[in-house]
Amino acid sequence: MSTKDFSNLQEKRIAKTLGGKTQPASGALPLASKKSDVQVSSSENWKLLVSAKTSMVKTYQVGKRSFTLKKEWLEEVKHQASEGGYDIGVLSVSFDNRKDYYITEDIDFRNMIEALHDYEKLIDSNNKLKSNILSFLTFWIKELQSQVNSKNPDLIFIQEGIDKINEFIEELK
């Protein structure tokens, strides 16, 4: 297999893993934003540009692999991301053509950690809201059920509403 074959395998694997797409002829294109290998823009809130580097090794081949990491690669992907309107530029490195390691600038990494914390807060807030809604609906079901159980013929239609609320509660759980 040629160097390009190994690179193509890595690029396709990264695109599949990250939900992105490969950039055909990435190294040959004149636009800086088109020179990187994988574009990830599946989110409405951020876009990621990945430059992939791999050692030439057959998939699952055993052995120690290494190559020199160049600062210019990191600066290049950062520049390409900025030029192309991407939020984050990432360098992906593979030593065995089956696992990738991602390198990004410290500010981008801090921003990702901050986004994870914000996500956790959102999940916690969502869980509290869900719990409050369940409590509210459970209270009203009991109230409505007591009215239905009073055998008042005018309130029989309420049972349909109770059934719908119970279905909704089950979906929330």
Measured N-to-C along each axis, helices 106-149 and 158-172 cross at an angle, to the nearest 10 degrees, of 150
Range of the domain at 138: 113-172
pLDDT on residue 134: 85
Q: How far is CA 54 from CA 76, 93, 139, in A?
A: 17, 6, 60
Distance CA 97, CA 100 (A): 8
pLDDT on residue 26: 63
Q: Are residues 23 and 86 in the same domain?
A: yes
Q: Are residues 80 and 132 in the same domain?
A: no
Q: Are residues 66 and 144 in the same domain?
A: no
| Spans in the chain with pLDDT lower than 50 | none
- The total domain count for the chain is 2
Token pair in block for residue 119: 């996500």
Q: Are residues 119 and 100 in the same domain?
A: no
pLDDT on residue 64: 55
CB 128 within 8 Å of CB 170:
no
pLDDT on residue 59: 56
pLDDT on residue 58: 60
